[in-house]
Structure 1
Amino acid sequence: MNGEQHNLKRRLLLQGLAAGALAGGAPLVLAAQDKVLRIGYQKFNTLNILKGTGQLEQALQPRGWSVKWFEFAAGPQLTEALNANAIDFGHAADTPSVFANASGVNAVYLGAEQPYPKGIAIFVAQDSPIRTVKDLKGKKVATGRGWNVQFLLLKALEEVGLTYSDIEPVYVTNAADVRAAFQSGNVDAATLWDPFLAGQEITTRPRILRDGTGLSNNRTFHLAVPKFVDQNKEIVRTLFAELKKANNWTQSHPQETADLLAPQLGVDPKVLKLATERRNYTTVAVDAGIVAEQQQIADAFLKLGLLKSAVRVQDKVYPEVLV
């Protein structure tokens, strides 16, 4: 392995590629290979389902294309991989996408998932004296920088007349750290997203203080490296066509979806069924209304000083509709 290959391998590892993908022998140096679609995904999402069906591989095979899948712990790691040209396509939630925009990540919005407000929540232990979001004043809350649930936390506090500075955020880097902090009692409340939220609900029965209903649509966005899209529009259209087929099936088969994903993700089918039942699986074009939602998130975090620079979301939307 030459020095350039070694550096690329190290960079991909640091960006959070799943150990399972690496152990399975997936080649790390893919940039120089032709006709390989490199997709980044996170646990429990429409791309997971598409991966599980194998239909994308079948659709692309006659064109001489193959697919490589890489799992990431969260959106920030995935968008960094896009920026490093380590993957071509992937998905991230609304807030991580905005933070990626602000940091100059080289990615464009291609499509959006339908609202999923019940897939995010702020919660406390069943026996906690905290009864409402207003009771969080002065309390420690586990969350992550640039996470979709951080935006929910911000909006929920505003809803009851508090500000973000009224709480003590305890920043963690992944969902496992949220669970550890919550279950150890080191924080008073915590924030999570599905399927990790569903898992927490089933295992410890926390009290939900607030989900995203009326505050955050909690959309997932499909993102891609613009140069890749410019050069491979038909491949991207095929990807979205296969994604649509998988989504249509999933919407009416929550139990079968859970059974399909459970071995792939290492998540209990009961957890996946709970998460699936409260989700609408449809991918749509990024229209003016969705851009406005994203702009609201960008403006809110800029006002707080948590974004490095202003973002004009419309400038990050791919000019053609490929969904």
Structure 2
Amino acid sequence: MSHSRSFSRRTLLALALATGLVSALPVDASTPLRIGYQKSSTLITLLKAQGTLERELGKQDINVSWHEFASGQPLLEALNVGNIDLSADVADTVPVFAQAAGAQLAYFALEAPSPSAQAIVVHQDSPLKSPADLKGKTVAVTKAAGSHYLLIAALAKAGLKFSDIKPAYLTPADGRAAFENHKVDAWVTWEPFLSTARNQLPTRTLADGAALAQYQRYYLTSTAYAKAHPEVLDTVFVELVKAGDWLRAHPREAAVILAPQWGGLDPAIVERANAQRSYQVQAVRADSLKEQQKIADAFFGAGLLPKPVDTRKVAIWSPEKQ
């Protein structure tokens, strides 16, 4: 009597061990890709919700896992120590701080400037009329975020130093709570937190990034991962470009997908927030980093960086090289 028999990978491995053929049999063909992101990582969140990267990278036997962080600084810290392989977009300030800490990071994509996607806001009835009025006031800001640089730049334009205000370093959620409860005089934040506050609270804008801060967002990996897996970065880059193009062409549909991912926000608020971002994904080139040097110099000048940073001394992966 004959019958068919199926063999599991474990059974095949046991047979290989017994026959000395283990070198010819891969134990596990899949390679992990651990992606770190935050709530403001719009395009990565879209790709995650739609399962796009799992589908495309699965063709290369890449196994994707997702890891959410509250803000960009701990995200890049996790990248630097090897807990994740790829960082979704972070504000332009964050890599500067990582560089100052000696992180071995590589830029592999950026989103074109979105200066109106962050702003300094006060309550509608606040007596403060301009950034110059912030002298001696308490301002909620997320440390090392893009909004942190916006605050420094706005103060400098008004003839003030960062030391002229009282910073309250808070996460976006805590900053919103402090602002709403009048525990701070002003709040500096970014999208989608900005449009949410504008919709739900009576606010007034003291300044946004126009003529002050370009607010580019960068995607990063480690230098080791960039060297070992350029084909993975190439796939992620292509899908990010597609996602940005799709979002701009379908703003309402994108908002409906993102709203539940962003804590059940009204899709209209999400659409309004997304309208402030460029979502134009581009390759990073050396001349893309000019604003990075301005940021590094401003933070060092304010005594917020431990040492000067040369932003040209960083690895850049480009799809044109592949």
Kept after mapping to 1: 8 A contact 2:244/2:279: yes
TM-score computed with the length of structure 1 as normaliser: 0.86
Kept after mapping to 2: 8 A contact 1:286/1:317: no
Distance change in 2, residues 1:33/1:217 (3 Å): farther
Query: Quick one: which of 287, 292, 295 aligns to 2:293?
Result: 295
After TM superposition, the structure 1 = structure 2 runs for residues 2-17 of structure 1, keeping only pairs within 5 Å, are none
Q: Distance in 1 between matches of 2:185 and 2:226?
A: 45
Deviation at 1:282, TM superposition (A): 1.2
Q: Distance in 1 between matches of 2:67 and 2:306?
A: 28
Equivalent in the alignment of 1:137: 135
RMSD of aligned C-alpha atoms? 1.7
Deviation at 1:154, TM superposition (A): 0.7
TM-score computed with the length of structure 2 as normaliser: 0.86
Query: Quick one: which of 65, 68, 71 aligns to 2:68?
Result: 71
Query: Structure 1: which 5+ runs fail to align?
Result: 1-31
- Cα deviation digits, residues 110-169 of structure 1 (max 9, x gap): 121111111111010011111111111111111122121111011111112122122111
What SS does the corresponding residue of 2:205 show, helix, strand or coil?
strand
Equivalent in the alignment of 1:150: 148
After TM superposition, the structure 1 = structure 2 runs for residues 275-290 of structure 1, keeping only pairs within 5 Å, are 275-290=273-288
150-159 or 138-147: bigger deviation? 138-147
Kept after mapping to 1: 8 A contact 2:284/2:317: no
Q: Distance in 2 between matches of 1:33 and 1:217?
A: 43
Provide the identity percentage. Answer: 41
Q: Distance in 2 between matches of 1:302 and 1:321?
A: 32
Query: Structure 2: which 5+ runs fail to align?
Result: 1-27
Q: Distance in 2 between matches of 1:87 and 1:33?
A: 20
Query: Quick one: which of 112, 121, 131 aligns to 1:114?
Result: 112
Equivalent in the alignment of 2:39: 43
Distance change in 2, residues 1:64/1:319 (3 Å): closer
Q: Distance in 1 between matches of 2:193 and 2:29?
A: 35
Specify the code of the residue in structure 2 equivalent to 1:37: L
Alignment pair present for 1:198 and 2:195? yes
Deviation at 1:270, TM superposition (A): 2.3
Deviation at 1:105, TM superposition (A): 2.0
Deviation at 1:235, TM superposition (A): 1.0
Equivalent in the alignment of 2:169: 171
Query: Quick one: which of 268, 271, 274 aligns to 1:270?
Result: 268
After TM superposition, the structure 1 = structure 2 runs for residues 25-44 of structure 1, keeping only pairs within 5 Å, are 34-44=30-40
Kept after mapping to 1: 8 A contact 2:142/2:148: yes
Equivalent in the alignment of 1:239: 236
Kept after mapping to 2: 8 A contact 1:138/1:167: yes
Deviation at 1:53, TM superposition (A): 2.1
Equivalent in the alignment of 1:21: none
Alignment pair present for 1:88 and 2:103? no
Kept after mapping to 2: 8 A contact 1:237/1:322: no
Distance change in 2, residues 1:116/1:267 (3 Å): farther
Kept after mapping to 1: 8 A contact 2:108/2:233: no
Aligned length: 291
Distance change in 2, residues 1:237/1:170 (3 Å): same
Deviation at 1:80, TM superposition (A): 0.8
- Cα deviation digits, residues 155-192 of structure 1 (max 9, x gap): 111112122122111222x1111011111211111111
What SS does the corresponding residue of 1:315 show, helix, strand or coil?
coil
Equivalent in the alignment of 1:61: 58
Q: Distance in 2 between matches of 1:33 and 1:209?
A: 54
286-295 or 88-97: bigger deviation? 286-295
Alignment pair present for 1:314 and 2:315? no
Q: Over alpha carbons, which structure has the higher Rg?
A: 2
Deviation at 1:33, TM superposition (A): 9.5
